[in-house]
Amino acid sequence: MYIPQLNQKSRLTLLLGLGLLLSNIIYSQTKTTSATPSQPKIVVGMMVDQMRWDYLYRFQNRYTEGGFKRLIREGFSCENTLIDYSPTITACGHTCVYTGSTPAIHGIVGNDWYDRKAGKDIGCVNDDATLTVGAEKPGRGQSPHNNLVTTVTDQLRIASNYQSKTVGIAIKDRAAILPGGHAATGAFWYNGDGNFITSTYYMKELPEWAKRFNEKKIVDTYYKNDWKTLYPIETYTLSTADDKDYEGTANGEKKPVFPKDLKQFIGKNYGAVRTTPYGNTLTFEFAKAAIEGYDLGGGKFTDFLAISFSSPDAIGHTYGPNSIEQEDDYLRLDKDLADFFNYLDKKFGKGNYLYFITADHGVSESPGYYLENKMPSGAISGDDFSGKLTETLKQKFGVEKPILAFTNYQLYMNWDELNQKNVDRKQLDAIVKSVLLKADGIANVLTNEELGTAAVPEPIKSMMIKGYNVKRSGDYTVVIQPTWKGGSIKGATHGTWYPYDAHIPLVWMGWKIKPGYTNRVTGMTDIAPTVAALLRIQMPSGSIGQPIQEVTGGR
């Protein structure tokens, strides 16, 4: 091998050259490793209504490689994400995830609540100033006007001077509207007439792509297949038997059993799809139509698609979390999710979209299920909740209607009447407590003024304080015993502070996300500040959460 004899100058040149070459290599290497764009093309925030954290793993041996298993493999899972407040209800959850805030601040204290000014119950997104758009029969519309703070989707709009597009989609109106934000490009929800609709708050007319989607009436094609289990029914060994007396029924069925005849609904009953896994498939299909129609992720600025899946909640309430119905729902959702990831990969490229999945709340087992398995549980009747109390107060104080409403575990008292009769507040508090505490299944009753001082342990105390809104909440908070439920022992529900209602999944995947997990406790309020930190935009106006360092640290 010929080795040239080099003089000092040539050696220096060679050294410099090598150095340059080396630095070029280093530069190009950093360039390849940082091929991740500085902003994702799109953020896809996905919420599954009533998805408890353990569902990520419960049916894992039958999940596909591309769905929930891929999430765990490629994503970062915050395994101990807890809701920071009570009541753990749909509207509060959707608002919290997108605002990083709680009912005390954002004002969405329930799906509905008693409005003292209006003197009636109001729905959280109902807006008399708007009309529906796209429904066969137009009616009063919906908007996010009751949400008092901005959402992370709003902040993205502000940061891009409204050049980012943000879209909310769900079967339930509130699950589309609250995440979409005040300044949403559009929010679309499913109407009983088989159409995805919106309201005049957003636009005067449905976009052409949405009209085309509605015209297809794809729900009929789902109905043609009925709802049969995905696999032979005897293989559903992780669920209770198909016919349990503590399951409810849906869509006119006589018994809660498979197969479920959906053909009867073709062209007739488009609402029935809500309580079937096809509600999820329908939502994914509409989401894809929105991505194509609005060209989401195709512009210069990051867009945001907030999608929520309402059917798991409807199925869970009816049949309970241990039913074959819910197992089949999750096996199907997993397959739909795998397909959706494939679609996102093809459309935007792996690593070019930021995805996260979470839930608005979890769920308790059905009281009937607990009792059958010798665990404590029961049902509290409406009579025990407020019926007996109403009677006692009427007799004691001679008032006509002492309680205006009982909703979201809150009693709204009729102060006009009670004050007229000069009812002593201390005496009233004592009566309310003594009557309600006699009922089985009621663990505690607190006046909302004493939330901060009552002998209630953490985290219940701070969860109640964060859930209490001075203007919109009631006067007393009723805490029910763990695993108990209002109404009957049939079906299942949520709403309490207990971990089965408050422990939700939170997994991040895609743009700048490194695989991994943490068992550290994170809060639902941390989600919006984490998205904001990743996108380097301002956090929402009422945010009280913290960016999750393990997630934002990957950049």
The answer to whether the beta carbons of residues 399 and 421 sit under 8 Å apart is yes
CA distance 330 to 326: 6
Interface contacts to Zn ion, rule CB under 5 A = 313
Choose between 66 and 321: whose C-beta lies nearer to Zn ion.
321
CA dihedral (152, 539, 56, 111) in degrees, to 10, reads -60
Catalytic residue chosen out of the listed positions 81, 88, 90, 95? 90
For residue 90, indicate whether it is catalytic.
yes
Choose between 313 and 328: whose C-beta lies nearer to Zn ion.
313
Residues 454, 386, 111, 119, CA torsion sign: negative
Angle of helix 388-397 relative to helix 425-437, nearest 10 degrees, comes to: 150
Looking up tokens 């799809």, which residue turns up? 273
Q: How far apart are CA 542 and CA 100, in angstroms?
A: 7
Q: Report, in Å, the least distance between residue 358 CB and Zn ion.
A: 15
Q: Residue 171 CB, nearest distance to Zn ion (Å)? A: 12
Tell me the β-bridge partners of 479.
444
Q: How far is CA 416 from CA 258, 292, 393, 419, 502, in A?
A: 52, 54, 14, 5, 36
CA 345 and chain centroid, separation: 24
Q: Cα(359)–Cα(513) distance, rounded to whole angstroms?
A: 20
3-state DSSP call for residue 28?
Answer: helix
For residues 542 and 149, is the Cβ–Cβ distance under 8 A? yes
Residue (313 or 329) nearer to Zn ion, CB: 313
For residue 459, which of 138, 15, 84 has the smallest C-alpha distance? Answer: 84
Write the Ramachandran bin of 31: left for phi over 0, alpha for psi from -120 to 50, otherwise beta: alpha
Q: Closest Cα to residue 367, out of 253, 481, 274?
A: 481
Q: Which residues are catalytic?
A: 90
